[in-house]
Structure 1
Amino acid sequence: MDTLIHSVNLHGIQNSFDPSIEVAVKLNKLKDSEQFKPILIHCEGLLLWTPNGGKLVVWNPCTGQTRWIKSNHRNLLLDRYVLGYVNNNNKSWDSYRILTFDYFYCCLKASPLKFDIYEFNSDSWRFLDDVYPNSFIHSDGVTLKGNAYWYALDEEDSLLKFILKFDFTTERFERLRLPLSFKSTSYVSVVLSVVRGGKLALLQQRVDDTDSLKMDIWVTKTKIDEAKDLLWSNFLVVDLGKVMLPDVMMVPYMSFLVD
């Protein structure tokens, strides 16, 4: 057994706790053949890893609660996962869900896009046979207020870009608005993040009319659960100049933090 001790300074975010909390948990040491992949997914305190060996791991670092989940028939190296929960008045461990889809299709369109969902309460997977977003997903998913969000493109019209939302309560997809000034024809890459207070952030790299590389960050104006659609404000613009793209280009599975 290994012991992980981590000190977290909340800076007054949650006044009902001591401003500095030390979290100490014990983790089972994994065998060499079961090393974790570097992709980490989080949802309001729960962490999801995708190790080798055909299993997923969900871990609560505050309580030490851990669940090993046998994957469905898909390939862990090609699938994408997002962790969310059903919004109800009694949110608990059993309210959480895992949504997975075949990322290989999004890249090569080699097979129909299929979604599977894992339920914590039943400890089982099921296929969402009547759910199809007609979209290509081009970012890792983030979870906010229990629901998942991606940057996506329409299957029929690649110039039509939007934020794709999956509601874990209704199990339906919805398209939401990008910033009005979003440069859809010159983008290099897009990454989503969550802002403290219930807002969504978007970081975009794009090439302007002078072939200069720009980085834009937008943040939603209102909390994600207080508006039917998204309204954005420009948070930051950085001019990176005329640089070689491979040296500074972001990749969709990167993450960033706006405080």
Structure 2
Amino acid sequence: MHWRSLPGDLVEDILSRVSAIPLVRLRETSKQWNAKLKSGSFAKMHAAHAPKEESLMITLIDHRVCLVKINLHDPSVKVAPHALYLKDPLSDSSKEVDIRNVFHCDSLLLCTTKDKRLVVWNPCSGETKWVKPRDSYKKTDYYALGYDNKSSSKQYKILRLDRQDRPNKNVYEIYDFTSNSWRVLGVATDWFLAKYRGGISVKGNTYWVATQAAEKPYHDFILSFDFSTEMFQNMSLPHPFPYGISSLSVVREEQLCLLGAKRHMLYMDDGASFSDLQVWVITSTGSWNKFLALYNTTSYPFSKGMSFLADEQNQVVVFLNTKSILHVMRQNKHILEKHLGGKSSVLLNYVPSLAQIQEATLPGGRKRKAPST
């Protein structure tokens, strides 16, 4: 039986059970398929029925988002020969955008560019949304993408932290996709984020390792932002936690994960080394559970600003330090070291999907797209 003879709703039901990447290729075959597979109704059906995609690793190399594949059985690292393509809408040619930083949430990437623009991008579908600033963007801004997880449908929002010249003054504002506009929420003065510390998204909310600055001695804690209530909350680190470096990641897209490395006064060519490492995950009750500890790692120094991924099942930690060197460690054993080439930063899990970037809603339920910048 040819597919053309099947009822349209049956075809959609069948395709909704196919993984995202083959569907993207199918969209390219005809305008009819492209229109059908880009519809919002199909995206919802696909999110409900499609098999869970295997997460991919992405990193930023020389201002381009690249896929990274790690083979743990025959230890090796491969970087895809071609970066994920993000066209610059301000160029008439096929010029690509230079990306300064990238944040991942729910299969969407929030990217800041070298020329201080902001874009939300689905690399799987190619859909983009360029977001204009309320006033202007700054190189020192922090950004996060999240969604209202108490709503029946995901309502995406962007958080911007504008660090003012005055110490510890953080003006925070929210961009709401349903209105295509920014609004200032408030000013925080009792904490600050170090330049090298990025945020991580877990179930629509964002988490950072922040530093309390209300009184001395300063101490670190976990700062979270709830996109449903649009409020900050504080979480404690595991106790005791005598570590000089702390970085956040996510396990299986659903559990917050924390890495700490203890500083020892052993000096190498590239500075002080860190010889003890621990990885913790937060449980459903909000308590911390240590699932991995590594010792005697002085030959593989960690560094402030590094990012990491953890595999709880295989007891593996993958981290990328600021020298663009990717390390893979398993149960006290260093099994792989690879220089990724160029200047690389940020190591993230990415799950391909057909997640749609929200459009603003006009009176009467009509949709409009934000103008490109």
**Does 1:136 find its partner at 2:170?**
no
Q: Which moved more, 1:159-168 or 1:132-141?
A: 132-141
Deviation at 1:77, TM superposition (A): 1.2
Deviation at 1:119, TM superposition (A): 0.8
Give the equivalent residue in structure 2 for 1:49: 111
Which residue identity does 1:122 align to in structure 2?
Answer: S
Distance 2:122 2:97 in 1: 19
**Does 1:250 find its partner at 2:303?**
yes
Match of 1:175 among 234, 237, 244: 234
Against the structure 1 CA distance between its residues 17 and 250, is the aligned structure 2 distance closer, same or farther, given a 3 Å change threshold?
same
Give the equivalent residue in structure 1 for 2:174: 117
Checking the alignment, whether the CA contact within 8 Å between 2:257 and 2:282 is kept in structure 1 is no
Give the equivalent residue in structure 2 for 1:60: 122
**Does 1:232 find its partner at 2:289?**
yes
Q: 1:35-80 CA deviation, whole Å, 9 max, x = no partner?
A: 3233111001011111144421101233332111012334431111
Against the structure 1 CA distance between its residues 27 and 103, is the aligned structure 2 distance closer, same or farther, given a 3 Å change threshold?
same
Against the structure 1 CA distance between its residues 72 and 52, is the aligned structure 2 distance closer, same or farther, given a 3 Å change threshold?
farther
Deviation at 1:216, TM superposition (A): 2.0
Against the structure 1 CA distance between its residues 213 and 54, is the aligned structure 2 distance closer, same or farther, given a 3 Å change threshold?
closer
**Does 1:220 find its partner at 2:281?**
yes
Against the structure 1 CA distance between its residues 251 and 208, is the aligned structure 2 distance closer, same or farther, given a 3 Å change threshold?
closer
Checking the alignment, whether the CA contact within 8 Å between 1:163 and 1:177 is kept in structure 2 is yes
Which residue identity does 1:70 align to in structure 2?
Answer: K
Matched ranges for 1:1-259 at <5 A: 16-17=50-51, 27-29=86-88, 31=91, 35-92=97-154, 95-103=155-163, 109-110=166-167, 112-129=169-186, 132=188, 134-138=190-194, 139-155=197-213, 156-184=215-243, 187=244, 189-196=245-252, 198-208=254-264, 213-222=274-283, 226-227=284-285, 229-241=286-298, 248-252=301-305, 254-259=306-311
TM-score, normalisation: structure 1 = 0.74
Percent of pairs identical after alignment? 33
Distance 2:167 2:218 in 1: 21
Against the structure 1 CA distance between its residues 51 and 154, is the aligned structure 2 distance closer, same or farther, given a 3 Å change threshold?
same
Give the equivalent residue in structure 2 for 1:3: none
Rg larger in structure: 2
Distance 1:28 1:158 in 2: 47
Q: 1:60-101 CA deviation, whole Å, 9 max, x = no partner?
A: 233332111012334431111111111134224xx1111111
Checking the alignment, whether the CA contact within 8 Å between 1:203 and 1:215 is kept in structure 2 is no
Checking the alignment, whether the CA contact within 8 Å between 2:251 and 2:310 is kept in structure 1 is yes
Checking the alignment, whether the CA contact within 8 Å between 1:177 and 1:231 is kept in structure 2 is no
Q: 1:126-161 CA deviation, whole Å, 9 max, x = no partner?
A: 1112x5372122321111011110001211234432
Checking the alignment, whether the CA contact within 8 Å between 1:48 and 1:57 is kept in structure 2 is yes
Give the equivalent residue in structure 2 for 1:10: none
Checking the alignment, whether the CA contact within 8 Å between 1:219 and 1:235 is kept in structure 2 is yes
Which residue identity does 1:183 align to in structure 2?
Answer: P
Distance 2:240 2:123 in 1: 40
Against the structure 1 CA distance between its residues 27 and 114, is the aligned structure 2 distance closer, same or farther, given a 3 Å change threshold?
closer
Distance 1:232 1:177 in 2: 13
Checking the alignment, whether the CA contact within 8 Å between 2:274 and 2:302 is kept in structure 1 is no
Deviation at 1:27, TM superposition (A): 4.6
Checking the alignment, whether the CA contact within 8 Å between 2:261 and 2:275 is kept in structure 1 is yes
Which residue identity does 1:76 align to in structure 2?
Answer: K
Runs in 1 of length 4+ with deviation above 6 angstroms? 18-21
Deviation at 1:258, TM superposition (A): 0.8
Checking the alignment, whether the CA contact within 8 Å between 1:204 and 1:216 is kept in structure 2 is yes
Give the equivalent residue in structure 1 for 2:41: none
The answer for unaligned runs of 5 or more in structure 2 is 1-20, 23-47, 56-83, 268-272, 312-373
Checking the alignment, whether the CA contact within 8 Å between 1:178 and 1:230 is kept in structure 2 is no
